[in-house]
Amino acid sequence: MSIHGIAVRIEKLNKSFGSNHVLKDIDLDIAPGETFSIIGPSGTGKSILLRHIIRLETPDSGQIYFNDQPVFDNGRPLPQTFRSSMVFQSSALFNSLTVAENVGLWLREHRICPEARIRELITEKLAIVGLEGTEGLNTSELSGGMRKRVAIARSLAMEPDLVLYDEPTAELDPVTTDELAETIRSLRKKTGNTTIIVTHDLNFALYLSDRIAMMHRGEIIEIGVPDQIRNSANPIVQRFIRTTTKGIQGG
Ligand SMILES: Nc1ncnc2c1ncn2[C@@H]1O[C@H](COP(=O)(O)OP(=O)(O)OP(=O)(O)O)[C@@H](O)[C@H]1O
């Protein structure tokens, strides 16, 4: 399997909605193939930052670069040679379609390759997320964890350079959350994609991330490998760890 993955660099990114300054001079450097999580309490700007990376929002100032290529020009998204895909919180699957139809949707809409290759890609991507042989199942009958994995397979079908996850564990029970963490971790080896995850599930982020950034009130207040986050001297980070993990992970 080919190895993808791009560098993502964010420089002095700012965004306000009226008087609400939601992103304040955000700087981030994410390496090709890195699994990077953005954590923090509700309303701190995590999703808005992700929406800039996928170009659903434009910044007031600052820039994002994919492999040194600028993403915006004067507040407008530039055409990209790199492909990003997003796994939405709700999974955003079509219940009236089968698993295979959901996974193949983007490929068929964009007529990316011949039908035989599309079927191969669907089978290949379902196997990567551990859903071999589920092509014909009705999407409406799947569990939350299976739906999430179908959504991941659909995003992988685009053969992305960058995969983004918005609150992937929302609505999942603890066992399914563990399975999902395992799936995303194994994808790193299988695809080499750069992966950015927004979550307020600290344990999930600690388990599968190469590095983690913590946001607070529109700013990045801590960044580092999981152990650096666990042992951060920043009282806001420590309070977040205490309230979200209750001591799990030895933290
Ligand atoms: N389209 C919008 N118009 C106005 N304000 C917005 C818009 N989108 C987000 N905001 C504001 O931006 C701030 C950051 O929101 P964001 O969704 O990024 O937070 P978050 O950290 O992802 O929180 P959560 O974990 O609850 O999703 C909030 O104050 C929110 O009200």
Q: What residues of the chain score a pLDDT lower than 50?
A: 1-2, 247-251
Residue 29: inside a domain: yes
Range of the domain at 240: 1-82+200-251
Distances (CA, A) of 243 to 9, 114, 192, 201, 227: 31, 51, 33, 11, 18
Which helix H or strand E contains 239, and what residues bound it?
A: helix 235-245
| 232, HSE (Cβ side, Cα atoms, 13 Å) | 20
**Residues in the ligand 1 pocket, defined by CB under 6 Å:** 17, 20, 22, 40, 42-48, 200
Residue 139: inside a domain: no
Mean pLDDT of the chain: 89
The residue behind tokens 């990376």 is 53
Tell me: the pLDDT tens digits for 133-191? Answer: 899 999 988 888 888 889 999 988 888 899 999 998 887 888 888 888 888 888 888 88
pLDDT of residue 8: 97
Q: Using most ligand atoms within 8 A of CB, pick from 13, 14, 15, 17 the residue to mutate for ligand 1.
A: 17
Distance 218 CA to ligand 1 centre (A): 10
Helices 99-109 and 144-157, axial angle in degrees (round to 10): 20
> pTM value?
0.89
Per the structure, the count of domains in the chain is 1
pLDDT of residue 236: 94
Q: Is 201:41 a contact under the CB 8 Å cutoff?
A: no
- CATH at residue 40: 3.40.50.300
**ipTM of the assembly?**
0.94
Residue 230: inside a domain: yes
The closest residue, in CA terms, to atom 4 on ligand 1 is 17
Residue 125: inside a domain: no
Q: List 37's β-bridge partners, or say none.
A: 197, 212
pLDDT of residue 7: 96
Residue 177: inside a domain: no
pLDDT of residue 3: 52
Residue 220: inside a domain: yes
